[in-house]
Amino acid sequence: MSKEDLLIDQSQGVLTLTLNRPESLNAFSGEMIAGLTSAIQEAQTNEDVRVIVIAGAGRSFSAGGDVKTMGSGSAQEVYEHIGKLNDCILTMQASQKPIVAVVHGFGAGAGFNLALACDLIVAAEDSKFALSFSQVGLISDGGGSYFLPQLIGPHLAKQFFFSAEPIPAKRLHQLGVINYLFSTETLREEAGRIAEELANGPILAYGMIKKLVNHSMTASLEEILEQERITQTMMVTTEDHIEGITAFKEKRKPNFKSSRRHS
For position 66, what pLDDT does the model report?
78
What pLDDT does residue 262 have?
46
The three-point CA angle 101-103-108 to 5° equals 105
| pLDDT for the residue 257 | 83
By the 8 A CB rule, do 84 and 128 touch?
A: no
pLDDT for res 71: 63
CA distance 49 to 70: 36
Backbone phi, psi, residue 57, to 5° = -85, 160
Give the dihedral of Cα atoms 132, 136, 137, 141; nearest 10 deg: -50
Question: For residue 176, is it left (φ>0), alpha (ψ between -120 and 50) or beta?
Answer: left
Contacts of residue 82, defined as CB under 8 A and 6 or more positions apart, other chains included, come to: 141
Phi-psi region of 256 (alpha: psi -120 to 50; beta: other; left: phi over 0): beta
**b (16+ CB within 10 A) / e for 41-79:** eebeeeeebbbbbbbbbbebbbbbbbbeeeeeeeeeeee
Please count the other Cβ atoms lying within 10 Å of the Cβ belonging to residue 232.
11
Residue pair 259/238 in contact (Cβ under 8 Å)? The answer is yes
Backbone dihedral region for residue 8 (phi beyond 0: left; psi -120 to 50: alpha; all else: beta)? beta
Give the chain's residues under pLDDT 70.
1-3, 70-72, 258-263
Please tell me the predicted confidence (pLDDT) of residue 258. Answer: 67
Amino acid 65: pLDDT:
85
Buried b (16+ CB within 10 A) or exposed e, 25-40: bbbbbebbbbbbbebb
Predicted model pTM: 0.93
Cα(191)–Cα(197) distance, rounded to whole angstroms? 10
Predicted local distance difference test score (pLDDT) of residue 2: 44
